[in-house]
Amino acid sequence: MKFPSFSLLPFLLVVLISLIGAAFADSHGEFLDCFHLRSANSSTVSKVIYLQNSPSYSSVLNASIQNSRFTTPATPKPLVIVTALQLSHVQSTLYCSRKHGLQIRIRSGGHDFEGLSYVSRVPFLILDLLHFRAVEVDVKNEVAWVESGATLGELYYGIASKTKTLAFPAGVCHTVGIGGHFSGGGYGILLRKYGLAADHVIDAQLMDARGRILDRKSMGEDLFWAIRGGGGNTFGIVLAWKIKLVQVPAVVTVYTVNKNLEQNVVKILHRWQYIAHQLPDDLFTDVTITKVNSSGQVGKKTVQAAFKALYLGGADKLIPLVQDRFPELELTKQDCLEMSWAESVLYFGGVPTQSLEIMLNRTALPRLTFKAKSDYVKQPIPESGLQGIMSRFLEKEADVSLMLMVGFGGKMDEIPENELPYPHRAGNLFQASYLVGWTKGEDEGKYISWIRRLYSYMASYASKLPREAYFNYRDLDIGTNNVGYTSYEQASVWGLKYFKNNFKRLVQVKTMVDPTNFFGNEQSVPPLPSPWKKKGD
């Protein structure tokens, strides 16, 4: 065989690229024609479809991207964005994307740590659920319906505007989208009292790959189990969730006590590991490790641990409890603040307590450029191990970084690990999460290298066989699917870390409801191959 001369290669590459570009252009052009044909009211199409040459394309794309790491010119962009206004738009998006070979990415809040709700390696479109954000709260029956495009803040505001004694056990970042948070096993500061958000989902409205709208009864208990922690963008499009609200006192108490290297933080943190998971269920605690300026010497850095807590009750009961169980912290009345549960969410989210209306602001928080990883810890880390963590936070690359340690126990110890796809229940002292950030435009390599070194260091202290990870803190370092066929064995590399033995059941459900893997991405549960289909097909 005679190969083309090197002088012809640039020409051939140009031709190849132009052919690929033309094919992509045909795909989204055909998609647009298909969408028009399926729309009863064609005048609405221009209000929900954004092509790359649309004037508002970039602003719509970037509006919900929460990690600036995925806003570079090199980041793959969707050929089409659909901001659906009604169910028929969602059905048309499914039908036309399948017909014309475009992968679909579903976005609710845009907080996916690896950008998988708005980035793909193959030609794709984004179905943005921004307009599916209704919240209906029924105080009398202590339930609510919330659509997937709503944020946690919008849900919390809807609850708090009607009652101070009902809440919901989800996260503290009020701009996070409901769809991804619930479907990925999200939790928050009511974790030890009530468990995960998904533990309190009692019904859902899902559109499957065929465009059918299903509720809990019509989808069946296997699929209903899978969507409550098995991951978004995997089994279908969950449009809305019915949730059971939980009871909280009208007044709760929070505190933050900071300790640094000069204040014996290693010994205090070592002690925290032994008591955090054994505290009463009404008391939630976490610790955030960061690098800060030393108060004793100008220009010197130290490492600080911020010990935070939420107590479902007043300060008069909290203070003697902590002084008895955790005297090393030296908690005082001045450290404590009493407030409503909704205000405590803003407190833990780092938002200065003001009018609760800030919960309705989807862009209230600054956007970071970051990489994150996660672990679960089942045995206390010795003081020498904690010293090693502290030394790594004094490295130059750790200027914008943190390690979050969330105390488990309580309700989490009572729920079987196969109750839902999220398996990290009894036996965990705490979840550890690591994050490093940098200024957009900087060389990210040295920062990602730093967090990978920290993660490698933590291998001695984290869970083993598998080394567990939290699905909602997505991390592509632990394994990915192929663009085409992915075997069960390959997907198990990351799947067992997120789901442990529940991964096998998730694969069975996926095979049943989406055998062609229409809802696929780099870390979606894959279906088993059909017995008559070759693996390479």
**Catalytic residue annotation:** 473
Q: Strand 252-260 vs strand 283-293: parallel, antiparallel, or unpaired?
A: unpaired
Q: What would the two tokens of residue 109 be?
A: 């809040």
DSSP state of 4: P
Answer yes or no: are the C-beta atoms of 104 and 31 closer than 8 Å. Answer: no
Q: Which amino acid appears at position 200 of this protein?
A: H
C-alpha 184/C-alpha 237 separation (Å) is 13
Start-to-end CA distance of the chain, whole Å, equals 27
Instruction: With H, G, I as helix, E, B as strand and everything else as coil, classify residue 445.
Output: helix
C-alpha 495/C-alpha 487 separation (Å) is 12
Q: Strand 237-244 vs strand 201-207: parallel, antiparallel, or unpaired?
A: antiparallel
Which residue do the tokens 């690229």 mark? 17
C-alpha 113/C-alpha 231 separation (Å) is 13
Q: At what angle do helices 383-393 and 265-275 cross, to 10 degrees?
A: 120
- Which one, of 299, 436, 294, 455, lies nearest residue 369 by Cα? 436
Q: Is the peptide bond before 466 cis (omega within 30 degrees of 0)?
A: yes
Q: How big is the CA angle at 515 (ends 123 and 508), to the nearest 5 degrees? A: 125
Answer yes or no: are the C-beta atoms of 176 and 110 closer than 8 Å. Answer: no
Q: At what angle do helices 341-348 and 152-160 cross, to 10 degrees?
A: 150
Which residue do the tokens 């030394």 mark? 391
